[in-house]
Amino acid sequence: MTGFVVKPEPIEVPGLVHLHTGKVRELYRDAQDRLVMVASDRMSAYDWVLPTEIPDKGRVLTQLSLWWFDQLADLVPNHVISTDLPAGAPADWEGRTLICRRLDMVPVEAVARGYLTGSGLKEYEVSRTVCGLALPEGLTDGSELPAPIFTPATKAEVGEHDENVSYEEVARRVGADVAAELRQTTLAVYGRAREIARDRGIILADTKFEFGYDDGTLILADEVLTPDSSRFWPADAWQPGRSQPSFDKQFVRDWLTSPASGWDHRGEAPPPELPEAVVAETSAKYVEAYERLTRMRWL
Ligand SMILES: N#Cc1c(N)ncnc1-c1cnn(Cc2cccc(F)c2)c1
């Protein structure tokens, strides 16, 4: 259950209709029936939206997503129309706002995994499968899979975990043709992205895409290949058999699980505010992810 310590009130902007408050993003619709996606500086960890924001996180991850959309444009079209600020929007939305085509969304979280961890590991430990796909014996937390797999999930209610489903269940829900196109495109995009990341010393362990259709064409939507939608691991610290250090969340996880926080992440109490040092280190990690992946300086 992803909880908010304090659920944010959406900002009212003339001409925009607020549609949804996500864990770390807001969704609006404009007068031209386009979507306006605004990335906040909120961060989630241990199924909570933390009370402390991470400076510049929303802007860094939006610019990273735009860079990935560009890297992938030959594989799949995307939903971004522009990054122009809607009239009357707050100035601090600059750089973290995407104006997007409104699509007929496929109600499936299109997940690709190249490594075994998280919910996939949990299923594997019971059944030696993930989403019903048989995997070899002997795999452990962080193991590289023999080949990347498509492991779809159904979108959970706000605050709940997505539920892994089989490919056959996806085909039952959206039809065989859409299921096949979803799997093929997800694995092609993951394959390209994992190579780009690996060339930069970063393992893209897994990632979640959202797709929609526009006039019969499959379109890549949402945000893509950010540390919020993906697991990024520093390649030089990869060691199967244990939980891998997260590229962006490790400082926060380490502090929240240390005696210094006075918090039990398995309990019901909301998490405490983060110390300034942890905030600064985490903000720097998002900038580092941007600079290493894009090979551009974050100015
Ligand atoms: N992307 C996209 C999209 C599109 N291009 N067309 C129609 N619907 C969506 C859409 C609907 N929900 N979401 C998830 C979402 C994203 C961002 C913030 C949130 F709060 C929630 C995406």
Question: 40-85, pLDDT tens digit by residue?
Answer: 999 999 999 999 999 999 999 999 999 999 999 999 999 999 999 9
Per-residue confidence (pLDDT) for residue 237, from 0 to 100: 97
* Distances 251 to 24, 61, 281 between C-alpha atoms, Å: 19, 18, 7
Q: How many domains does the chain have?
A: 2
Cα distances from 294 to residues 66, 91, 299, in angstroms, run 10, 25, 13
pLDDT given at position 147: 98
Within a domain: 122: yes
Give the integer Cα–Cα distance in Å for 48 and 3. Answer: 5
Does residue 193 register a pLDDT over 70? Answer: yes
Among 4, 24, 27, 158, say which to mutate for ligand 1: greatest number of ligand atoms within 8 Å of CB: 27
Same-domain pairing of 66 and 198: no
Q: Is residue 294 part of a domain?
A: no
Mean pLDDT value across the chain? 96
The answer to the question of residue 76 being in a domain is: yes
Per-residue pLDDT band for 267 (boundaries 50, 70, 90) equals: very high
Looking at residue 91, its pLDDT comes to 98
Minimum-distance ligand 1 atom for the alpha carbon of 103: 6
Residue 160: what pLDDT? Answer: 77
Q: What is the whole-number distance in angstroms between the Cα of residue 20 and the centre of ligand 1?
A: 8
C-alpha 297 – ligand 1 centre gap (Å): 29
Write down which residue in 43, 68, 100 finishes a domain.
100
Q: Is residue 284 part of a domain?
A: no
Percent of the chain with pLDDT over 90: 94
Measure the CA–CA gap between 187 and 147, rounded to whole angstroms.
Answer: 10
How far does the centroid of ligand 1 lie from the alpha carbon of residue 11, in Å? Answer: 17
| Residue 177: band (very low, low, confident or very high) from pLDDT cuts 50, 70, 90 | very high
Task: Please identify, by atom number, the ligand 1 atom nearest to the C-alpha of residue 101.
Answer: 5
Closest approach atom of ligand 1 to CA 20: 20
Print the domain residue range for 9: 3-100
Which amino acids bring their CB within 6 angstroms of ligand 1?
20, 22, 25-27, 35, 37, 79, 100-103, 105, 210, 212, 221-222
For residue 180, pLDDT beyond 70? yes
71, 100, 129 — which closes off a domain? Answer: 100
Query: Residue range 227-236: average pLDDT?
Result: 98
Q: Is residue 277 in some structural domain?
A: no
Identify whether 35 is part of a domain: yes
Q: What is the largest CA-CA distance in the chain?
A: 57
| pLDDT, tens digit, 9 for 90 and up, residues 124-169 | 999 999 999 999 999 999 999 999 999 999 987 766 788 999 999 9
Same domain? 142 vs 84: no
8-state DSSP, 168: H
Give the C-alpha distances (Å, rounded to integers) separating 89 from 57, 74, 92, 95. Answer: 19, 32, 8, 12
Atom 2, ligand 1: which residue's CA is nearest? 222
Of 86-95, 150-159, 185-194, the least confident: 150-159
Tell me what pLDDT residue 2 has.
60
Query: Is the same domain home to 71 and 111?
Result: no
Of 100, 133, 164, which one is at a domain's C-terminal end? 100
Using the mean position of ligand 1's atoms as its centre, give its distance from the Cα of residue 271 in Å.
27
Q: 129 CB contacts (<8 Å, ≥6 apart)?
A: 123, 135
- Ligand 1 pocket test: which of 222, 223, 224, 226 has the largest number of ligand atoms within 8 Å of its C-beta? 222
Q: What is the mean pLDDT of residues 204-232?
A: 98
**CATH number of 154's domain:** 3.30.470.20
CA of 27 to the centre of ligand 1 (A): 7
Instruction: With respect to residue 288, please indicate whether it lies within any of the assigned structural domains.
Output: no
Query: Is residue 39 domain-shared with residue 155, that is, in the same domain?
Result: no
Same domain, 89 and 182: no
In this structure, what CATH number is given to the domain that contains residue 87?
3.30.200.20
Residues 174 and 78 in one domain: no
Q: Please determine, for residue 1, whether its predicted confidence score (pLDDT) is greater than 60.
A: no
Check whether 294 has a pLDDT greater than 90: yes
Q: Which atom of ligand 1 is nearest to the CA of 22?
A: 20
Residue 6 pLDDT: 81
The verdict on 85 and 202 lying in the same domain is no
Q: Is residue 75 part of a domain?
A: yes
Predicted TM-score of the model (pTM): 0.97
3-52 tens-digit pLDDT: 888 888 999 999 999 999 999 999 999 999 999 999 999 999 999 999 99
Task: Specify whether 77 is located in the same domain as 144.
Answer: no
**Are 85 and 154 members of one domain?**
no
Please tell me the predicted confidence (pLDDT) of residue 55.
98
ipTM for the whole complex: 0.97
The answer to whether residues 61 and 173 belong to one domain is: no
Residue 272 has pLDDT above 90, yes or no: yes
Q: Are residues 114 and 243 in the same domain?
A: yes
3-state secondary structure (DSSP) of residue 232: strand
Same domain? 137 vs 162:
yes
35 CA → ligand 1 middle, Å: 7
- Nearest-angstrom CA–CA distance, 64 and 224: 8
CA angle 51, 111, 210 (to 5 degrees): 75
Q: How far apart are CA 104 and CA 175, in angstroms?
A: 15
